[in-house]
A and B are shown apart, each in its own frame.
Chain A
Amino acid sequence: MNGIHDMGGMQDMGPIQYEKGEPVFHASWEARVFAMFAATGAWRKWNLDAFRHTREVLPPDDYLRVSYYEQWLSGLLDLLVRRGLVTAAEIESGVPAPGAARATPPLTADKIPAALLNRIHANRDVQVSPRFQTGQRVRARNINPVGHTRLPRYARGKIGTVDRDHGVFVFPDTNAHYLGEKPQHVYSVRFAARELWGEQAPQKDSVYLDMWDDYLDAA
């Protein structure tokens, strides 16, 4: 989706605001949202790609205005309802509806360490032939899906070189929409800064992106 989240290459976002001695969380509710992310994710009703997509579909003005953990909370509420763990009415009331089904067994604090270790990994130990070899010239496809993708706009249509093959991973464009994992190879692809940004870019500089087989054609 060509959304505001895909901001690589934009130039009007202002100076970087560096906070010295920054705390991990700026308010206790942020830590709570982070814990909710881990606890609710343990039910495996969604995956990390689906979670990322909830932030991408925020209206652009909201995306830029609200804080990071507000984006997370909004995404979690969306997933909790959409994936059937709670209803919109229960979120509104803050209590379970009378007779609502309970998720069993309950996820208690003592189970959290094991649940964290049990996270769904994105790499897959399956035999899939790579479509490209290290050193090969490739062109990033010019795709503009309305759903989730990890191919940033600034790389589409550009030519790069396969730097290394990282093995087989689930494909976010389908996985985010529960349309299957479509496991395939992921490569680091080196794009010259001049290929991406034109002749004013320094000649030796480059940007490396992780690219799935489905994002690439031979060049």
Chain B
Amino acid sequence: MAEFGYLSRQGDRMVVVENTPRVHNLIVCTLCSCYPWPVLGLPPVWYKSAPYRSRSVIDPRGVLREFGLELSTDVEVRVWDSTAELRYLVLPERPAGTAQLREEQLAALVTRDSMVGVAKVSPPQPGSFS
């Protein structure tokens, strides 16, 4: 991440967890609001809210459904509750049909929500990189 200029001002240790077709990771802080500031900025209100913090650990699939993401039962869900000074970041799954895209085109597809794990990265809209 330092290579891309994301230096941790807070000195937080970053841990990147990778989403695959078999594993889906979700980040939460049930006790307060820990969030990877150096990379994603300050957290949105929903991330700090009681509904998200309370249910992400007991019903992550229900939480993801509220974000419009239905996971297949054969996908393993791993929830990361940020209880220490480690900051978690999801490496989203690369969407289908992006083999030809350049780095900056891929970067443009990645969203904050996909790096928290509440969304997947959507494939590019037809014609968006023409």
Cβ A186 vs Cβ B86 within 8 A: yes
Q: Is A7 part of the contact surface with B, judged by Cβ < 8 Å?
A: yes
Binds B, one of A9-17, A81-89, A102-110: A9-17
Cβ B58 vs Cβ A197 within 8 A: yes
Q: Which of A63-79 contact B (CB under 8 A)?
A: 64, 68
Pairs A-B, 7 closest by C-beta atoms:
A8-B30, A210-B84, A122-B85, A10-B54, A13-B50, A121-B11, A7-B54
Complex Cα gap A121–B30 (Å): 22
Binds A, one of B41-49, B92-100, B102-110, B121-129: B41-49
Complex Cα gap A150–B31 (Å): 7
Taking the nearest CB of chain A, how far is it from the CB of B115, in angstroms?
15
Per-position 1/0 for A16-51, Cβ under 8 A of B: 111100101010000000100000000000001000
Per-position 1/0 for A182-219, Cβ under 8 A of B: 00001010100100110000101111111110000000
Complex Cα gap A13–B63 (Å): 12
Q: Return chain A residues, CB-CB under 8 Å to B30.
A: 6-9, 152, 154
Q: Return chain B residues, CB-CB under 8 Å to A117.
A: 9
Complex Cα gap A204–B74 (Å): 8
Kindly identify which residue among A16, A48, A55, A207 contacts B79, using a CB–CB cutoff of 8 Å.
A207
Q: Return chain A residues, CB-CB under 8 Å to B28.
A: 8
Contacts A5-B32, A7-B54, A186-B84 hold; do A16 and B44 have CB atoms under 8 A apart?
no
Q: Which residues of B contact A (CB under 8 A)?
A: 9-11, 13, 15, 28, 30-33, 41-42, 44-46, 48-61, 63, 66-67, 73, 76-86
Number of residues in A with C-beta < 8 Å to the partner? 52
Q: Return chain B residues, CB-CB under 8 Å to A190.
A: 78
Q: Return chain A residues, CB-CB under 8 Å to B51.
A: 13-17
Cβ A24 vs Cβ B41 within 8 A: yes
Q: Return chain A residues, CB-CB under 8 Å to B67.
A: 16, 18
Q: Is A52 part of the contact surface with B, judged by Cβ < 8 Å?
A: yes
Q: Is A151 part of the contact surface with B, judged by Cβ < 8 Å?
A: yes
